Amino acid sequence: MTHYYPLRLRASLHETIWGGRRLERDGWKQIPPGDIAIGESWETEISNVVQNGLYTGKTLGTLVEELGVSLLGKQAFAIFGQRFPLLAKFIDANAQLSVQVHPEDSYAARHEGGKLGKTEFWYILTAELGARIVYGFKTPTDRAEVAQAIQNVTLDRLLHEERVQAGDIIYVPAGTVHAIGSGVMLYELQEYSDVTYRMYDYGRLSASGKPRELHIERSLDVVHYDVPRQIKMKPVSLANTHGHEDRCLIACRYFLTREIQLKEHAAVEGTTRSSCIILSCLGERAQIFYGDSLRESESISRGETVILPAALGHYRLVGNGALLFSYVPEPADKVWQQWQASNLM
């Protein structure tokens, strides 16, 4: 008989030229000693290894193959097929990232060997005073103007910069030109895709003294040239009691993320349905109770992520601090409908 339980994954750390060591300094992750700049911690990478229970030592990708819809859920399978649907990350932008754009699913399927496109969102965890992101254009533009600006290394004159602070929620649908600025640390959730087109890099040179590779033509194919209607999203309150607060941060066809703030070891109960749930801890510590009569439990601490399989069933969350709670919503999801009513989507 298959056993379903919260899967604790060992995150994978990714060294980048723009990363730093804030993930360790702020108590999110342990980073190897030395002069290593970590830009990203991938929480649900398919090569990540399970650290607890019956499936200890197996990768997430292996469990997707073995458990299929029981792990993923019917709605996640309907949208994404038999692949893990979403990639969660902690990102430390110690320096400005290049300007990028991602394709939507249909373009990626045609031009990237059947891969998914990438829609994502950012939840700003910390931001230095005056920190900014690049998001869209200042005014409507077109392919010719943008192509000329890239060639002349003046694209930054067309780009809109937005100041950000902790708590900001940024939705980045496919086709949005964007970049994370220096001094920003955030939580990102995205379609599970590695398709990124580097559109512009301010004329910077790599460590070898050469310009970094750009993907200009494909960027120009997929970018939205109009001005975005809304940059910072409005969370929607779902509950606010003496024991917990529940807000929907973001909702779209690919993902829905709630922030559950537990107070004084309060309990929140639920049941998994048509999607697996990605649970990331931003607070101190929480316990996930599950199984017959909720007699089994698994803990989760700050900076850790677990996956609740779709077939898990009834569960209870108990603890202190914030948890990010993400899944693939059904079209009739009432929380998604509430969120849309408050945002320009």
Q: Please tell me the number of Cα atoms within 13 Å of 293 on its side-chain side.
A: 1
> Could you report the per-residue pLDDT of 206-233, keeping only the tens digit for each?
666 677 889 999 999 999 999 999 999 9
Q: How confident is the model at residue 345 (pLDDT cuts 50, 70, 90)?
A: low
Q: How confident is the model at residue 329 (pLDDT cuts 50, 70, 90)?
A: very high
**What does the pLDDT look like over 249-264, one tens digit per residue?**
999 999 999 999 998 8
Q: Return the H-helix or E-strand segment holding 264.
A: strand 256-271
What percentage of residues in the chain have a pLDDT greater than 70? 98
CA distance 341 to 339: 5
Burial of 321 (C-beta count, 10 Å sphere; 0-12/13-18/19+): middle
**CB 305, CB 60: distance < 8 Å:** no
CB 287 within 8 Å of CB 265: no
- pTM across the whole model: 0.96
Residue length, the chain?
A: 345
Catalytic site residue from 8, 22, 198, 247: 198
Average pLDDT, the chain: 95
Q: ∠ CA(66), CA(109), CA(197), 5° rounding?
A: 110
Under a CB-based contact definition with an 8 Å cutoff, are residues 41 and 243 in contact?
Answer: no
CA distance 319 to 119: 31
198 as an active site residue: the answer is yes
Alpha helices in 102-204 (DSSP H): 105-111, 143-151
DSSP code for 288: E
pLDDT above 50: residue 1: no
Q: Helix and strand tally (H, E) in the chain?
A: 8, 20
Q: For residue range 173-212, what is the model confidence (pLDDT) as tens digits?
A: 999 999 999 999 999 999 999 999 999 998 886 666 677 8
| Cβ atoms 16, 37 nearer than 8 A | yes
308 contacts: CB under 8 Å, gap ≥ 6:
6, 7, 272, 276, 277, 279, 288, 290, 315
What pLDDT sits at residue 206? 65
Rounded CA gap, 343 and 233, in Å? 7
